[in-house]
Amino acid sequence: MELFMKAAGAALIASVLGLALSKQSKDMQILLVIAGCCMVAGIAATFLRPVLELLGQLQAMGNLNSELTGILIRAAGIGLVSELACMICTDSGNASLGKTVQLLGSAAVLYLAIPVFRGLIELIQGILEGV
Amino acid sequence: MEIDLIFKIAAIGIIVSILNQVLSRSGREEQATMTTLAGLVVVLMMLAQKIADLFDLVKELFQF
């Protein structure tokens, strides 16, 4: 948890430095915010790694289809990256760009979910043929 | 944790803004603009590597 405290402190320092820079050069402030976000997201990834390993163990214990669980994990990753990009774009005053990145993330998740939907349709067809 | 990068960017930003003020007060508007642009490019080059590292980490972590 020490790493979490350090990350929170670094984010606060980046925020204060960003405020100091905002009056002189707004563009440099945005770059500072992006650097801070990258650093904190990297730390969040180190916390997420054991969670994902646990998910892998659960998948192995439950004998689940690795293809389908992989889609879920990838969808979570896409969601995190698109949310981060969206927030940075919104902070820099480009809300429309941020919303478009969110739309891109949603489209990518839908694209990833095609095999799941295909599987569901085949399952429903199988059930209906059996009736 | 690389908090050095945050301080580096803040320092470059402060130096660039001071240079910008000095150059624009002395009537060298073009050089002030070029200095600001150069500072931006330098910071952007530093940041691009970090963004690429983050994306690689996410790719590896979420099995892309």
Domain ranges of chain B: 3-61
Chain A residues whose CB is inside 8 A of the B43 CB are 28, 31
A7 touches chain B (CB under 8 A): yes
- pLDDT classification of A108: cutoffs 50, 70, 90: very high
A77 touches chain B (CB under 8 A): yes
Contact B9 A28 (CB under 8 A): yes
CB pairs under 8 A between A and B: 101
Quick: pLDDT tens for A90-102. 988 899 999 999 9
Q: How far apart are CA A119 and CA A65, in angstroms?
A: 12
A58 touches chain B (CB under 8 A): no
A47 pLDDT exceeds 80?
yes
Is the ipTM reported for this complex over the cut 0.85? no
Contact B9 A32 (CB under 8 A): yes
Residue B1, pLDDT score: 59
Q: What are phi and psi of A125, to 5 degrees?
A: -60, -45
Contact B62 A38 (CB under 8 A): no
3-state helix vs strand vs coil in chain B, percent to 5: 90, 0, 10
Quick: pLDDT tens for A9-43. 888 988 888 888 887 788 888 889 999 999 999 99
Residue A20, pLDDT score: 83
B43 pLDDT exceeds 70?
yes
The encoded tokens of residue A9 equal 């402190």
